[in-house]
Structure 1
Amino acid sequence: MKTLIYIGNKSGVKEGANLTSIDILGKLLKESGYNIYCASSKKNLVIRLLDMIWTCFRYRKQADYVLIDTYSTLNFYYAYFVSQWCRVLKLKYIPILHGGSLPNRLKNTPRLSKAIFNNAYVNIAPSAYTESNFKSLGYNNIVCIPNSIEIKNYLFKERTFDSIKLLWVRSFSKIYNPLLAIDVLKVLKDKNIEAELCMVGPDGDGSLLETKKHAEKLGVKVDFRGKLTKQEWIKLSKNFNIFINTTNFDNMPVSVIEAMALGLPVVSTNVGGLSFLIQHNKNGFLVESGASNLFVDTIINLTNSPEKTNQIAKEGRDYVEQFDWEIVKNHWIKLLK
């Protein structure tokens, strides 16, 4: 049995937080037969780093590989310190690359980036977008293994469009631009179009309160559901007919993959890796970032052509079936032999 150390932010153990990659992928790898030691769920930033360092040291003799969730913001520095500690311990480490703005980190912090990624056993990109950006900057030791879902948990449903029922699922953070969802609803209301909006997710950086105030200021009613379990929001999704993704930066968001699996037509900003996931007017819809009017025009057009829209949604479902864990896990097994 292969033994893995998985380093990441186990925010899923915190009340009100979304499950992260270490929670989801770690569980799936364990169910696939790998012995896994994870770190860290510590809240204090320094203690969290020390826990990560200690976990690598404690299991250094058993571990075949160290997986490191790597982001562009604060967690980038966790990845740096852990990766260099792995080099000292002579452990093979594998950064798993997250976040649509990570390519900017390569340009802004080149010395630290080279120390992490050039010395990795291999780097894992969840999308062709990240892979191409890394390769363009000279990082060729990279393999694309997409984010995955368990497709059996997502029942496809064909939608009707008698009225517009928008669903937004993400953490409330500035990079995901939740205010834009409120603006879209406002423009629809101003056009005397019957529409409703439900927003699901925990507060990430104080944006939830800001979003609620923005809705109040614009005089639109929004159904804020807070954090729901995956099963709860999947059940809720049956009541909605359009999924909107308003992010400013992104890579290969699982929530969008899930929406496509459920048969929800997706309207998303065209940023980061979204164009590698969504082909406009073929398996979803892409609009310019921050453009509420373009969102609204797209929403109106797709509701006016229900047959075409449902066909596009079906194409979306067919496309994301390649992200089923039963398929994706074979890539991991091959890599970790």
Structure 2
Amino acid sequence: MANSGWSWYLFAVPAIHIGRMRSTAVVVNYRGGEAQQFLQHAVRRVKASINKAQALVVPSGYLRQVFQQFGMAVVVVPNIVDLDRFRYRQRKAIPDNATDTIELFFPRHLEYIYGADLAIEAVAQLKSKYPGLKLKLAGAGPEHNKLKQMTEDLQVADRVEFLGSMSPDQMVEAYQSAHIVINPSRVDNMPNALIESLACGTPVVACRVGGVPFMANHGEQALLVTAEKVDELKEAIDTLIRQPDLYESLRQQGRQHVEQWGWQTVRAMWLEVYQQALTENR
């Protein structure tokens, strides 16, 4: 099913009405980070349909707040991380020598809302201080050509590598080989990329948007910065490079923190949702 907005609504409504016609319980899942803007324009239609479902499930406390603001009850069931695949990897600290390779990894699609341009700007501002600093960008998307040109304009084309679409195993390898994962989103909900990074023991710098502050505490499991503030993003990266004790603390606390999103825990939450939906549908 589509994640959010009108595409989600147009998928969800037929399922809800077919379920009612067949006396079948319906559980609706909403996942997108732009729910606030969508509901401001569509709340009447959405409420009329969602009230016919047995449950509305969202993956974060952030989306629960948004939907409750518009008078809709929700159940939170978080995203799942495969802890067997995204394994914690012991690694050496970031190199002391600034000329040695320091690898940043951006694990999102190349879309404007995910802020790859901000990551490139941060590298441009840090390039003289850390000659070994590199940035790897995962995924494809509509911003690809613009971002490639940006690396040329900022004279960091030799520092930025575009990896293209990656398989799950390639993503694991990228998380584990990176020193820092950066998630400079302008809009977000509960990004799997953040969970997977923490599971692999790779410290994260992320923007404080949407559901991200509900996932990690600043200075405990990640470093959180203000969206669109490249100076803050740059400073957070610099801080992790210069403070090995903080770096190691984030690695360890991050891995412990993601245990709550393992399958056994989340499976029990989904079973409870389905059982309650069946009970209400009798």
* TM-score with structure 1 setting the length: 0.75
Query: Partner of 1:147 in structure 2?
Result: 79
* Whole-angstrom CA distance in 1 between matches of 2:8 and 2:154: 36
1:226 is displaced (CA, Å) by: 0.5
% same residue: 27
Query: Partner of 1:212 in structure 2?
Result: 148
* Superimposed CA distance per residue, residues 137-179 of structure 1 (whole angstroms, 9 cap, x where no aligned partner): 2112x21110001211122124421153100111111211221
1:134 is displaced (CA, Å) by: 1.4
Partner residue of 1:285 out of 214, 223, 227? 223
**Do 1:267 and 1:287's aligned partners in 2 also have CA atoms closer than 8 Å?**
yes
Partner residue of 1:264 out of 196, 202, 218? 202
**Do 2:140 and 2:164's aligned partners in 1 also have CA atoms closer than 8 Å?**
yes
Aligned residues: 267
* Whole-angstrom CA distance in 2 between matches of 1:217 and 1:86: 54
What is the root-mean-square deviation in Å for CA atoms of aligned residues?
1.7
**Do 1:80 and 1:115's aligned partners in 2 also have CA atoms closer than 8 Å?**
no
* Superimposed CA distance per residue, residues 260-279 of structure 1 (whole angstroms, 9 cap, x where no aligned partner): 10111100011001000010
1:70 is displaced (CA, Å) by: 4.1
Q: Please state if 1:157 is matched with 2:89.
A: yes
Tell me which moved more, 155-164 or 107-116.
155-164
**Do 2:8 and 2:30's aligned partners in 1 also have CA atoms closer than 8 Å?**
no
Give 5+ residue unaligned stretches, structure 2: 96-100, 276-282
Matches within 5 A, 1:71-110: 71-110=4-43
Aligned residue identity for 2:239: N
Partner residue of 1:225 out of 159, 163, 169? 163
Query: Partner of 1:328 in structure 2?
Result: 266
Give 5+ residue unaligned stretches, structure 1: 1-7, 9-68
Highest relative contact order (Cα 8 Å, sep 6+), 1 or 2?
Answer: 2
Secondary structure, aligned partner of 2:213: helix
* Superimposed CA distance per residue, residues 224-272 of structure 1 (whole angstroms, 9 cap, x where no aligned partner): 1101111112113332100000111111011110001011110001100
Partner residue of 2:140 out of 199, 202, 218? 202
1:190 is displaced (CA, Å) by: 4.3
Secondary structure, aligned partner of 1:74: helix
**Do 2:105 and 2:182's aligned partners in 1 also have CA atoms closer than 8 Å?**
yes
* TM-score with structure 2 setting the length: 0.89
Aligned residue identity for 1:322: Q
* Whole-angstrom CA distance in 2 between matches of 1:211 and 1:90: 50
Matches within 5 A, 1:1-337: 8=1, 70-140=3-73, 142-159=74-91, 160-162=93-95, 163-203=101-141, 206-221=142-157, 222-337=160-275
